[in-house]
Amino acid sequence: MCIQRVLGPWLLVVMLIAVVGCGPRTQSLFNGRDLDGWRKEGGGATYVVEDECIVGIHGPGANTFLCTTDEFDDFVLDLEFKWDRPGNSGIQFRSHLRPGDGIVEGYQCELDPSERAWTCGIYYEGPRGWLAPLDQSPQAQAAVRLEDWNQIRIRARGPHLQTWLNGVPCADIIDRQGDTAGFIALQVHSGGTGQMRWRNITLTELED
């Protein structure tokens, strides 16, 4: 009886730790201080850390990407985004470097300051182009904030890809042709001008 009384509370603690340990794992992809865990690929845009934000500043050359050094498969990605100066941008996910020339390819959650307003549509950077434009989604088009912070969510589970903009559902597709894993990247598009910033970048890995 004495042994049971001693082991009882400890057994409960062990069971609780096991339950907590089995839940989805959420991690911050940006520490707010520097670009540890990221690398730049592509053109001549500049990425700096300012006020606990990653700031992308338009530069010469091709599209530029700040890529995570880790890769992810099934996840929910949450972050905030804002334009300092209008310019086309995007958030790559399940992306990779094309063998031979190092060009970034993969899914992109569009960040679009134009009148078209396709922010959070899904584009495939590379040979495939638009997979989920928002021309038939007036609610999604109206959700973008051009002069304030935008809350963006990307969910990728198997072939099912979804996006939300400021809580409004945007893209929702099944696509079996793209990669099932890859890096996350923040894009500054070539041409024109633009300065944009990202903050509070967290990723929750989804379990089978």
DSSP state of 207: P
Supply 65's token pair. Answer: 């990407």
DSSP state of 182: B
Go through the domains of the chain in sequence order and give each one's CATH number.
26-205 (2.60.120.560)
**Residue 57 neighbours by CB under 8 Å, 6+ apart:** 45, 46, 47, 48, 188, 195
DSSP state of 72: B
Per-residue pLDDT tens digits of the chain, which is 208 residues long: 544 454 455 544 444 444 445 567 999 999 999 999 999 999 999 999 999 999 999 999 999 999 999 999 999 999 999 999 999 999 999 999 999 888 999 999 999 999 999 999 999 999 999 999 999 999 999 999 999 999 999 999 999 999 999 999 999 999 999 999 999 999 999 988 899 999 999 999 998 7
pLDDT at 4: 46
User: Considering the entire predicted model, what is its pTM?
Assistant: 0.88
Asked if 108 and 187 touch (Cβ cutoff 8 Å), the reply is yes
> CB neighbours (10 Å) of residue 66?
23
